[in-house]
Amino acid sequence: MPSSRRTFLAGGAAAGVGLAVAGGLPSLAQASPARPHPPAKPGNVPFPPLVDDPKGILALPEGFSYTIVTRTGVTRLDRGQGTTPSDHDGMAVYDAGHGRYTLIQNHEIDPGAEFGVPHVKGTVYDPGASTPAVAP
């Protein structure tokens, strides 16, 4: 198939546009801070060294501690819906008064997971995304 100058130029222009767009993609994915951070002062450490946890759960800096409040498939939910679901990826704690707190956990669970989010009548956003449980 014979090539013409027009075909060659059109192909070259398309390649140039493609390279220009592809060259800009990495910069779209890079963070650009609004203002530069001042350099760290000599002797400042951004985070103290971690101490190995004898239980092998969570290494923390010297003087820090942790308390486990829920465990997947072990901790019973307080309204009889079952056990704590898996795949926690965020949480918040609210003061419930009288020395009590309410823990809210978000979960990223695939349908049919072994420890899914229980269905509670009137609160289920996507009935197909969690495992049914006995409603209170």
Task: Give one DSSP letter per residue of the chain, joined into a string.
Answer: ----HHHHHHHHHHHHHHHHHHHHHHHHHS---SSPPPPPPTT--SSPPEE--TTSS--EETT--------TTTSBPTTSS-B--S-EEEEEEEEEETTEEEEEEEE---TT-TTPPPP-TTT-S-GGGS------
> Binning pLDDT at 50, 70 and 90, where does residue 136 land?
very low
**pLDDT in the model for residue 26:** 52
Highest mean pLDDT among 9-18, 62-71, 101-110: 62-71
**pTM for the full predicted model:** 0.45
**pLDDT in the model for residue 40:** 62
